[in-house]
C-alpha cells in the first residue's frame, strides 16, 4: 500500500482521474495525516479541490461510517466558492455549535450567493435545535442576531423552503408551524 504522502501526491495530480473508492482513506484522519493533508490541499488546483470535495460529500452521504468533517471544516475557508459551498453541504450532519460562528461569518461576508445560501440553510438547523431544547439560548440568539439585516434572495428562500418541505420535515421538525419558529426561520431565510 502506498504511503499517505504518495496517496496525496497521486490525488493532487490533475492528469489522473480521482478514484472515489480511494477517497475513503481520507475518513477520520489522525493528527499527522490531517496536517499532511491540509499542507497538500492548499497546493491542489481549484478544479481538483472541487472534484475531491464533491466526491467526499457524495461518499459521506452514501456511507454514514465515513467522516470527512476535518476536511469539510478546513474547506470553509477555501479560496474557491464552490469548494466552500460543498464543504457546508458536507457538514450537514455536523451539529456541534462550534460551526455556528464560521457559518455566521460566511453568511455575513462571503461574496458568493451560493455559499451564503448554504450557510443560511445550515444555520436553520441550529434554529430547530433550539426549538427542541438542544441548543442554548445564547447560541440561538447569536444566530438570530446574524439574521437581523435582511437581504433576501430567491435562492436562499428556495433552499429553506426545500429543507422544510422534505418528506421527513413534519416528523423531524414538528415545531415548524409554530409562529416563533416560523418567524426565526424566515429571518434566517432573509439573512445575508
61-86 b/e with 16+ CB inside 10 Å = b? eeeeeebbbbbbbebbebebbbbbbb
Band (173; pLDDT cuts 50, 70, 90): very low
Q: How confident is the model at residue 168 (pLDDT cuts 50, 70, 90)?
A: very low
- Contact yes or no for 160/185 (Cβ under 8 A): yes
DSSP classification of residue 8:
H
Position 59 confidence tier, pLDDT thresholds 50, 70, 90: very high
Q: Does residue 49 surpass a pLDDT of 50? A: yes
Residue whose C-alpha is closest to residue 10's, from 109, 23, 133: 23
| Domain ranges within the chain, ordered by starting residue | 1-94, 96-192
Amino acid at each position: 500500500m502506498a504511503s499517505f504522502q504518495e496517496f496525496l501526491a497521486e490525488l493532487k495530480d490533475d492528469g489522473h482521474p480521482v478514484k472515489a473508492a480511494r477517497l475513503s482513506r481520507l475518513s477520520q484522519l489522525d493528527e499527522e495525516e490531517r496536517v499532511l493533508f491540509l499542507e497538500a490541499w492548499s497546493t491542489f488546483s481549484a478544479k481538483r479541490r472541487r472534484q475531491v470535495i464533491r466526491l467526499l460529500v457524495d461518499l459521506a452521504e452514501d456511507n454514514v461510517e465515513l467522516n470527512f468533517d476535518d476536511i469539510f471544516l478546513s474547506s470553509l475557508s477555501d479560496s474557491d466558492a464552490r469548494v466552500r459551498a460543498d464543504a457546508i453541504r458536507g457538514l450537514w450532519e455536523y451539529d456541534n455549535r462550534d460551526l455556528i460562528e464560521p457559518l455566521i461569518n460566511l453568511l455575513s461576508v462571503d461574496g458568493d450567493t451560493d455559499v451564503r445560501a448554504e450557510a443560511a440553510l445550515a444555520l436553520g438547523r441550529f434554529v430547530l435545535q433550539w426549538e427542541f431544547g438542544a441548543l442554548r439560548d445564547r447560541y440561538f440568539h447569536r444566530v438570530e442576531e446574524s439574521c437581523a439585516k435582511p437581504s433576501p434572495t430567491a435562492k436562499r428562500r428556495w433552499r429553506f423552503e426545500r429543507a422544510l418541505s422534505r418528506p421527513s420535515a413534519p416528523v423531524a421538525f414538528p415545531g415548524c408551524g409554530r409562529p416563533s419558529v416560523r418567524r426565526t426561520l424566515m429571518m434566517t431565510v432573509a439573512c445575508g
